[in-house]
Structure 1
Amino acid sequence: MTATRPLRTPPPARPARTGLLPWGLSAPLVVLLAVLFIWPVLLLMGLSFGEDGFTLEHYRRLLEVPLYRRVLGNTFLIAAMVTVLCVAFSYPVAYLLATVGERTRKILFVMVLLPFWTSALVRTAAWIVILQRNGILNSVLQSSGLTDDPIAFVYNLSGVLIGMTHVLMPFVVLPLYAAFRAIDASLVLAAQSLGASALSVARRVILPLTAPGVIAGATIVFMNAIGYYITPALMGGPGQTLISMLITQNINVDLNWGLAAALSVVLLVSTLVIFAAFQRAFGLDRLFAGGGGRGAAQPFGLQGRRSGGGWIAAAVGLVVLALLVAPIVLVFPMAASNSPYLQFPPPSYSLRWFANFFDDPKWIRSIWNSLKAASVAVPLSVAIGTAAAIGTSRLPARLRPWMETIFVLPMVVPVILLGVGLYYMLSPLGVLGSPYTLGLAQTALCAPYVFITVRAALKGFDPSLELAAMNLGAGWGTMFRRIMLPAIAPGIAAGAIFAFIQSFDDVVLALFLTNVRSRTLPRAMYEGVAHEIDPTINAASALIILFTILVLALNLIFTRRTRNA
C-alpha cells in the first residue's frame, strides 16, 4: 500500500495590515504635508522668537500694546458670538429636517447644502449687496416707511455676525440633525405620557441628547471663526479687526514679520488646544461625523403630531432656511440687472454684465488661472488622499488615530497661517506668481477632504471581497483595480468634488501666492468687492453658483449610477 501525503491547504490571504504597504500608501501625503504644511508653520513659529537670536520681544508687545490685546479679545468674543448664533439658528432647522417626510426633507436639505457648497466669497458679496446703505434691505425698509434714513447693517459688528453666521451655520446644522435622528422617539412619548410639558421635554430630553451634535458643530464653527479672514475683512469695520486681519496688516503694511509670526503662533496654539481637548473628550470621528451616535429604533419625528411649540420651531426653521438661500437667489436678478448701480428690484433686465464678464481679459484670465491651479490640486489630492485613506485603514489600531490626526490638521488650522508660512518659505525661491505653484500649495488643503471621504467609503467595504480575490491568486494591485476601486468610487468622486470646490473657492492662499497676472477668479472677485462692488461681480457670482450646482448634480448622477451598477 502506498501512503499518500495529504494535500496542504494554503492559509487564507489576509488584507495587508502590517508591513510596508500601509506605510508606503500613506507616505506621499505625509511627505506633502511635511513640506507644504508642517514646515511652513514651523518656520513661522521660529520667526516669532526672532531672526537673529532668541527673544520674546514680539510676545511681550502682544501683551503690552493695547491694540493687540483688544484685537485678541475681539477675535475670541466675535468667534463666541458667531458660535452661539449658529447653534441658536441651527436648532429649529435641524428639528424641522428631522420631523418632516422624506421627500420634503430632501428639498430642505438642498436649501442647507446649496449655501454650504457655494463659495463663501460669493455669499459674502451677496450679503454686502443686501445690507449696504443703498442695498436691498434698506430699500425695503425705506419704501415701506419703517425707516427714514438708511441703517448701517454692514461694515460694523452686525455685518460681521450676519456674514460669518451665514457661512458657518451649516457646520452645526448637519451634526445636530444627525443627533436629532438618533433620538429614540419612544423617550419623547414616555416623557409626554408622564405629563411632561413640551418645554420640559425639550429641556430634559432633547437638549441633553442633542448636546454631542451641538458640541461637534460648535467646535468646528469656533475653530473656523477665530481664524476667519474673508468675511470680517469685507463686512467689518476697524472695530472688528481680528487676528487674521492683523497678521496680514503686519506683513503687507508694517512689514513686521516677527510680530505677524507671533500672532500666528497665538492663533495656532488656540486652535490646537481646542482641537486636542475635543479629540480627547469625544474622539476625532465625532468631530467630522457629527453627534448622532447609534441610530434609534424609532427615529425622532415619528412620535406623533407636533405640539404648539413644535409648530413654532418648524416655522422659525423655515424662516432661517429662507435666509440661508436668499443671498444666493438674489444674486441672479442682480446679475441680470441693466442698471450700473446696485438696485433691487432692477429697473430693467439685460445680459450686459455677463457680456462684460466674458469681454474683460481680467476675468477670463482669472478663470484660466483658477482652472490651472485646480488641474494640479485635484488629481494630486485624489491620488495621494485615496492612497493615504487605504494605507491608514491598514495600520495597527494604536497608530491609526495619530496618522488620522496628522492628515486632518490642514482642515483644522486656520488657512491664513498656511498662506503666510508658504509665502515666507517660497518667496526666496522665486516660484511665486504661478497658478501651478498655487495648485501645489492647495493640495495641502484639498487632500485631507479626499482622505476623509474615502475613509468613510472604506468603512462600508466588505474585507471578505478582498480576501476572496487574493485567495484566488490576484495580486494586491489587481484586487484594488477590479474589486476595491469600483466599491469606493463614489467616495473618491465625492472627494474629488470636495477638492475641486476647495481649490476653486480658495482666496487666502491666492492672495499670498499669486500676483496680478496669475490671480485666480476668487482673488479677482475679492479685490473687486474690497474696493468697489462692480455689478460684474454679481455676474461672476451667478456663474460660480451655476457651475457649483452643475458639478454637484454630476456627482449625484455618478454616485447613483455606481450604486445601481
Structure 2
Amino acid sequence: MKMLSVRRPVFWAWVAVAPLLGFLGLLFFFPVLSLLGISFGDDQLTLEHYRRIIEVPVYRRVLLNTFVVSGLVTLLCVVVSYPVAYLLATVSPNVRKFLFVVVLLPFWTSALVRTTAWIILLQRKGVLNDFLTGSGLIDQPIAFVYNLSGVLIGMTHVLMPFVVLPLFAAFINIDRTLLEAAEGLGASPYSIGRRIIMPLTAPGVIAGATIVFLNSIGYYITPALMGGPGQKMIAMLIADNINRDLNWSLAAALSVVLLFCTVVIFVVFQRVFGLERLLTGSASRGSAAKFSIGNNGRTGGGWLTVACGVAVLIFLITPILIIFPMSLGNSPFLSFPPDSYSLRWFDKLFSDAKWLRGVSNSLQAAGVAVCLSVVLGTLAAIGTMRVGKGFRPLLETIFILPMVIPVIILSVGLFYMLSPLGMTGSPLTLGLAHSVLAVPYVFITVRASLVGFDRNLELAAMNLGASWPVMFRRVMLPAIMPGVIAGAVFAFIQSFDDVVLALFLTNIRSRTLPRVMFEGMAHEIDPTIIAASAMIILLTLSLLAINLLLSRRPTT
C-alpha cells in the first residue's frame, strides 16, 4: 500500500509531462531530425551536399561570415555591457528600477521594430546622417547600414541584455569584504578591478557571451535587412536554397551544420554552467544591495564608466523613442523630427485590407500559441517538479531546447513536413508552430513559481479532504498565477514578433503583421510600417504593465 502511494504521484507526474513530450515530438523533434535524412539525399545516401559546403567558396565564405559576425557581436555585447552592469550595481534601488526599464524595454520590444528603427536612424538619408551633415561634421553621408556596421549595431542592440543581466548579478554577488580588504592593503581601484572584480564577474560574462553567440549564429532578421551581400549568414543561405533554388537537400545539410554547432555550444554551456542559469533567469540574492569599490566615492575611472553606461543606455532606448514621433508624421518621406503631425498612417494601418488582415492573422496565431503553450507548459512544469531527480534534468533540457535551436531550422523542418499535407497558409498552423517557441517561456516562468510554492499547503488541503483538482484550483493555481501570467505574456510577445516561421508557413492571405512589415522593409519603408511599429511597442508595454500589476497583487 505504501509502495502504491509512492508510485501514484510519480505516475500522474508523467501524465502531466506526456502531452508536451508528444507535442514537441511531433512538431519539433520530428521536423528537425527529418532534415538529417534529407541532407543525405532523396534517393540514395550521399555526402555530396556536405562535400559541396566544404568545397564551394561561397558556402565556406558564408560559414566564415557567420562565425566572424557572431564573434564580433559577442565581443561588442561584452564590452558595452560592463559599464551598464556597473552603473546598475552602483546606483540606489529606486534609480536602478528605472534603469532596468530602460534595459528591458528594448529587450521585450519586437526585434523587427528595433531593426526598422535602426534603418531609419542609420540609412544615407536617415536621422544620424542628416544630423552629421547639417552640423557640418561631414560633407557626404556615411554608409552606416547595409554593411557590416549595420549588422553589428542591430544585432548588438538586440542581444546585449543577455550579457547585462548575468553580469549585473555577478557584480551584486561580489563579497564587499574582499573589496574592503584589498583597499585596506593599499590596492588601487584599478588593481581591485583587474584582480578581483574581473575574475569574479568572469562566469557571468562567459555565460552571457555563450547565450549571445548561440543566438547569433542562427540570426536571420537583422542580417537580412541591415546587411549587404558580404554579410550573408547561414540562416539566410538556408532560406535562399529553399525559396530561390528549391534545393532542399543542400538547405537541409546547411541546417544540420547549424544544428550541430548549436547543440555543441549548448552542451558545453550546460556542462559548465548548468541549466539553472536559463531556468531561474538572472535574479540574484542581494539584488537590492548597492555595490561600490572602496569607501571614498567614485574615482575618475568610475565616473568615466558611469558616463559610458549612460551612453549605452541611450543607445538602447533611442531607436524605441524615435518611433512614436515619426509614426505621427504627415509626410510620405521619413524624416525626424516630422515637419507636421497627423494620424494619417495609423488611419491607413486600420483601414487598408492588407494591414488589417495581417493584424487579424497575428492575433489569431498568437491566441492559439498562448492558449496551447500555457496549458502544456504549466502541466509540464508541475509534472517535472514531481518526477524523480534522475529524469528531471533530461526533461528540462527537452522542454527548453526549442528556445535554443535556431528558428530557421524549425521553420524549414515544419515547412517540409506540413507543405505536402496542405497544412500551411493557416493562422491555426502558424499558432501551433509558435506554440513550440512559446512553451519554453511558460515552462520556465511556471517552474520558477513552483520553486517557491510550499508543498505543505498542497498536503494540508488534500488531508482536509480536497481532491487534487480542487486543491490546484484553490491553492496551487493562485500561488503560481504570476508565473502563468508572465509565461502567457512572453508567449504572446514571442508569437506576435515572429517573422521567420511566418515567412515559411503563411501565404499572401494568411500573412501576419510582422511578415507584411518585413516584406515592406525589404524594398522601401512605407510610413505605415512605422505606425505598425508604434502599435506593437504600445501593445508590448501594455502587456508588460499588466503582467507587472498582476504579479504584485497579493494572492488569497
Q: TM-score range by the shorter chain?
A: over 0.9
Which residue number corresponds to residue 272 of structure 2?
A: 281
Percentage identity across aligned positions?
Answer: 67
Tell me the equivalent position of 2:196: 205
Query: How far apart are the structure 2 equivalents of 1:319 and 1:338?
Result: 31
Does the CA-based 8 Å contact 2:31-2:417 persist in structure 1? yes
Tell me which residue corresponds to 1:37.
Answer: 28
Q: Which residue of 1 aligns with 2:143?
A: 152
Question: Quick check: 1:449–1:498 contact (8 Å CA) kept in 2?
Answer: yes
Q: Is the aligned partner of 1:222 residue 2:231?
A: no
**TM-aligned CA deviation for residue 455 of structure 1:** 0.6
- Deviation, 1:386, is 0.3
CA drift of 1:135 comes to 0.1
- The equivalent of 1:161 in structure 2 is 152
> Aligned residue for 1:505?
497
Q: Which residue of 2 aligns with 1:268?
A: 259
Contact 1:41/1:417 (CA < 8 Å) preserved in 2?
A: yes
Q: Residue 515 of structure 1 corresponds to which residue in structure 2?
A: 507
2:334 counterpart residue number: 342
Contact 1:15 1:463 survives alignment (8 Å): no
Q: Tell me the CA shift for residue 289 of structure 1.
A: 3.8
Q: Distance in 2 between matches of 1:297 and 1:431?
A: 51
Pair 1:300-2:269 in alignment: no
1:382 to 343, 367, 374: 374
The 3-state SS of whatever aligns with 1:433 is: coil
Q: Which residue among 15, 18, 28 is the counterpart of 1:24? A: 15
Question: Is the Cα–Cα contact under 8 Å of residues 223 and 231 in structure 2 kept in the other structure?
Answer: yes
Shift in Å at residue 288 of structure 1?
A: 4.6
Which residue identity does 2:20 align to in structure 1?
L
1:468 and 2:460 equivalent? yes
Query: Against the structure 1 CA distance between its residues 289 and 209, is the aligned structure 2 distance closer, same or farther, given a 3 Å change threshold?
Result: farther
- The Cα offsets for residues 267-319 of structure 1, whole Å up to 9 and x where unpaired, read as 00000000001111121112454677765997633854222211111111111
Aligned to 1:554: 546
Structure 1 residues 296 and 489, CA gap change in structure 2 (3 angstroms): closer
- Whole-Å Cα distance in 2 between the matches of residues 356 and 403 of structure 1? 47
Aligned mate of 1:415, from 407, 422, 436: 407
**Paired residue for 1:250, among 223, 238, 241?**
241
Out of 353, 364, 368, which is 2:360 matched to?
A: 368
Residue 87 (1) aligns with residue 74 (2) = no
TM-score by length of 1: 0.95
1:238 and 2:218 correspond: no
**How far does the alpha carbon of each residue in 1:393-415 deviate from its partner, in whole angstroms, 9 at most, with x for none?**
01111110001000000010000
Letter in 2 for 1:86: C
**Residue 475 (structure 1) shift:** 2.0
Verify: 1:435 aligned to 2:427, yes or no.
yes
Greater shift, 110-119 or 293-302, is seen at 293-302
Contact 1:216 1:290 (8 Å CA) reproduced = no
Q: How many residues of Structure 1 are paired with residues of Structure 2 in the alignment?
A: 555
Point out the more displaced range, 463-472 or 424-433.
Answer: 463-472
2:128 maps to 1:141:
no
The runs of 5 or more residues in structure 2 that have no matched partner are none
Moved more, 119-128 or 280-289: 280-289
Q: Is the 8 A contact 1:185 1:298 kept in 2?
A: no
Report the Cα distance in structure 1 between the residues aligned to 2:107 and 2:285, rounded to whole angstroms. Answer: 25
1:111–1:324 Cα contact (<8 Å) kept: yes
Instruction: Structure 1: state its 5+ residue gaps.
Output: 1-9
TM-score (norm 2): 0.97
Q: 3-state DSSP class of the match of 1:531?
A: coil
CA distance in 2, matches of 1:302, 1:137: 37
Instruction: Please name the residue that 1:75 is paired with.
Output: 66
Q: Structure 2 CA distance, aligned partners of 1:71 and 1:101?
A: 46
User: Which residue of structure 2 aligns with residue 404 of structure 1?
Assistant: 396
For 2:10, the aligned partner's letter is G
Residue 259 of structure 1: aligned partner: 250
1:481 alignment partner, one of 473, 478, 487: 473
